[in-house]
Amino acid sequence: MQKRNTQQRRRAIIEQLHQQGEVAVDALSKAFETSEVTIRKDLAELENSGLLLRKYGGAVPLPTSASELSTEKLSLRKQSIARAAASLIRDHNRIVIDSGSTTAALLPELNNKLGLLVMTNSLHVANTLIERENEPTVLLTGGTWDAQSHSFQGQMAEQMLKAYNFDQAFLGAAGLDINRGTTTFNELTNLCRAMAKVSNQVIVMAESEKLERKIPNVELPWSDIDVLVTDQNIDESAKQALIKQGVDVICAPNKVD
């Protein structure tokens, strides 16, 4: 097969997924004549857009209820979640923002916050914030660049975090497990845990359909999480189960004014 540009290749991946019910990294790499690293990046971006669910060695479709959501609706939902999360931030707070599409939705909501100090492991977050007129103080963790998560990871980043204390940490999640906590395919979970450890309040931002994702690696247990900001589609029984575990559940409206 001839090489295609990135968007064409990703559309073709989705087509194959719908036809076959599952795709494998090695097979896609051969079919598109590109590296497995590139295919993993494609799958990561498609998962962030709510179009598939990654698993070891490949990807599968999202559960039906989630796959019916359009990218536009997912974007609006992220925006609503971000607005609800931003309402928790006071002027002059010291916050840490993890990499990810849902946490990145928080950035436009920070325009009117004064005197913020923000540390992040995301180049996108840092580059966006330094252009803000309200001029937040921006710190970058540094560390080892991880192409899968598009962020800095590793011991250097963890050591940088340990030198500070934050009012709040805003973290995303690939999946939510009612019994275990937030989950991820990425085995590099130490930085997220370090962010939580140095923050007085840990806030997870995630869409409710992530409760349907079965993902192996636990990132943070619920005992380390203070607030879950999600949407109104969360099942009431799931919400109550989280509240019993000491998590404050904030349900953002599905529509943004």
Q: The domain 6-61: what is its CATH number?
A: 1.10.10.10
Residue length, the chain? 257
Residue type, 198: V
Q: Which of 98-112, 158-172, 197-211, 237-251 has the lowest mean pLDDT?
A: 98-112
**How large is the average pLDDT for residues 196-220?**
91
pLDDT at 11: 87
169 vs 75: CA distance, rounded Å:
22
Q: How far apart are CA 250 and CA 232, in angstroms?
A: 9
Fold entry, domain 71-252: Rossmann fold (3.40.50)
Q: CB count, 10 Å around CB of 151? A: 24
- Lookup result for tokens 């007129």: 133
112 with 92: CB under 8 angstroms?
Answer: no
3-class DSSP state of 137? strand
The SS3 of residue 167 is strand
Region 212-226: what's the mean pLDDT?
89
Query: In angstroms, rounded to a whole number, what is the distance separating the alpha carbons of residues 33 and 108?
Result: 38
- Per-residue pLDDT at 131: 79
* pLDDT at residue 246 tops 90: yes
pLDDT at 25: 92
Q: How far is CA 115 from the centre of its chain?
A: 25
pLDDT of residue 128: 87
What are the boundaries of each domain within the chain?
Answer: 6-61, 71-252
CA 168, chain centre distance (Å)? 16
Position with higher pLDDT, 177 vs 1: 177
Backbone angles phi, psi at 60, to 5 degrees: -130, 165
- DSSP H or E run through 155: helix 155-162
Mean pLDDT of 194-211: 95
pLDDT at 63: 58
pLDDT in tens, 52-103: 888 778 888 875 544 444 555 667 888 999 999 999 999 999 999 998 888 9
Q: pLDDT tens digit string along 123-154?
A: 889 988 987 878 899 999 999 987 766 789 88
**Digit-coded pLDDT (tens) for 22-45:** 899 999 999 998 998 889 888 888
Contact residues for 42 (Cβ-Cβ < 8 A; gap 6+): 6, 9, 10, 13, 28
Residue 252 neighbours by CB under 8 Å, 6+ apart = 77, 80, 81, 83, 84, 229, 230, 231, 232
Q: What percent of the chain has pLDDT over 90?
A: 52
Which pTM was predicted? Answer: 0.73
Identify the pLDDT of residue 15. Answer: 87
> CA neighbours within 13 Å on the CB side: how many for 179?
4
